[in-house]
Amino acid sequence: MATEEFDLFVIGAGSGGVRLARMAAQRGARVAVADDAPLGGTCVNLGCIPKKLYSFAAHYAESFEESHGFGWSGPAPVLDWALLKANRAREITRLNEIYATLLTDAGAELVRGRARVLGANEVDVGGTRYRARRIVVATGGHPVVPEWPGAELAITSNEIFDLAVFPRHLLVVGGGYIACEFASIFRGLGAQVTQLYRGDQVLRGFDNELRHFLAGEMRKKGIDLRTGVDVARIERDADRLRVTLRDGSSVTADQVLCATGRVPNTRGLGLTEVGVELSANGAVIVDEHYRSSVASIHALGDVIDRVHLTPVALAEAMALVDHLFGADQRRVDYELIPTTVFTHPSVGTVGLSEQAARERFGVVRVFRSEFKALRHTLSGSTERTLMKLVVDAASDRVVGLHMVGADAGEIVQGFAVAMKAGATKAVFDATIGIHPSTAEEFVTMREPVMA
């Protein structure tokens, strides 16, 4: 027999799972959350937070060099890799404790261990059975490595934060968010970086002009970015690793980071055994209310493989808790989701790419500005900024906003609110800019470059 009964049993204590559990408990539901990993999921432990902290760290050497143009001088700083790791680990532990407190203060029960679904209303954790009216799978995803010979010699983003020795030469395989971000981060921290991508350009799915512009800026930072190449095998070469490509050439590096994709964490959860339908890559297939093919089992976040962003998982959690325990009025709008890529320089984008806008609306107007930011008139850096607006010609609505440059995410977040509210190009034109700032460029572009 089950030892305890709950209104809601959440499998996974990442951002989405914790938000769902907290909000449900605050509405009076009896809630349990199970996880056998540090609380906070990928975002807190192996993703957004440590990655952003390392991105901050990676800017300091460049900032020191740039400071010379502003009259500063002194000995160049030296990275203490061990200290950076220790400080990051301390902050992550603090966040883990906060997540635990959030759950317990809300009245949710935290169950430590790996959960397995035994039935439509039953879960096992370490030999103890729990019954629940509703079960929610919020287990996230994990990185995968292609089946190359020697693939076991590569590391993933799970291991990159805690390397025992800082790599003098890091080879990154992949062309998505994670690959581009870590290539930029480790280049900024002082490593020689080679990035290999089998596609024709990095950041597939983003605006094409933005993709090409970013690739050029990354190369200017010293990243050896090679597209149209594919890995054949990885071998040990003394104390280093040799990566042989399909064209017969090879690259030797200290570490190989494989950032070629992630898949949902559903293996071993017992889902298919109880009738939950999964997609080809293991994602839980859900309806508009995040309900699986088993009515009492729901899922959200990366495990449903829609949009792999922490704020999206949080929004899905709020919509689901409102559906299960509230007025059922919330819905997640997957249009106009802003996002950023913490490359150097960073990328910020919201809405449609130029290509996607043309496919949807037919006639669009494109406004574009490329320039050297004011800071770099003295810094000596050759970094340039790209800002771009895509406007539906028929309605005058701004349907795409894209940027490559410093603080792109901070700038784009505010414009995302305006676009969500339906802002037109006329509204942008009527808005007074903040001068001198990079952000003002979005409200001062007057002449379209093409239609």
The encoded tokens of residue 171 equal 């080879």
- How many Cβ atoms are within 10 Å of 127's Cβ, its own excluded? 6
Which is nearest to 29 in space by CA: 328, 301, 324, 296? 324
Bond prior to 264 in cis (omega within 30° of 0) = no
Residue 308, classed as helix, strand or coil, is coil
Catalytic pick among 289, 298, 323, 435: 435
Q: How far apart are CA 202 and CA 262, in angstroms?
A: 17
| Burial grade of 450 (CB within 10 A; 0-12, 13-18, 19 or more) | exposed
DSSP string, 429-443: HHSPPPSS-SGGGGG
User: Is-cis flag, bond preceding 345, omega within 30?
Assistant: yes
Helix pair 81-106, 48-67: axis angle to 10 deg: 140
Report the C-alpha gap between 103 and 260 in whole angstroms.
34
Helices H / strands E in the chain, number of each: 11, 21
**Strand, coil or helix: what is 267?**
coil
How far apart CA 133 and CA 105 sit, in angstroms, is 22
**Tokens at residue 424, please?**
């037109």
Nearest to 257, CA basis, from 322, 160, 327: 160
Please provide the distance, in angstroms rounded to a whole number, between the alpha carbons at the two ends of the chain: 68
Say if residue 436 is preceded by a cis peptide, omega within 30 of 0: yes
CB-based contact 332:315 (threshold 8 Å): yes
- Beta-ladder partners of 398: 391
344 is a catalytic site residue: no
The C-alpha R_g of the chain, in whole angstroms, comes to: 24
Chain-centroid distance of CA 117 in Å reads 28
Which residues are the active-site residues? 435
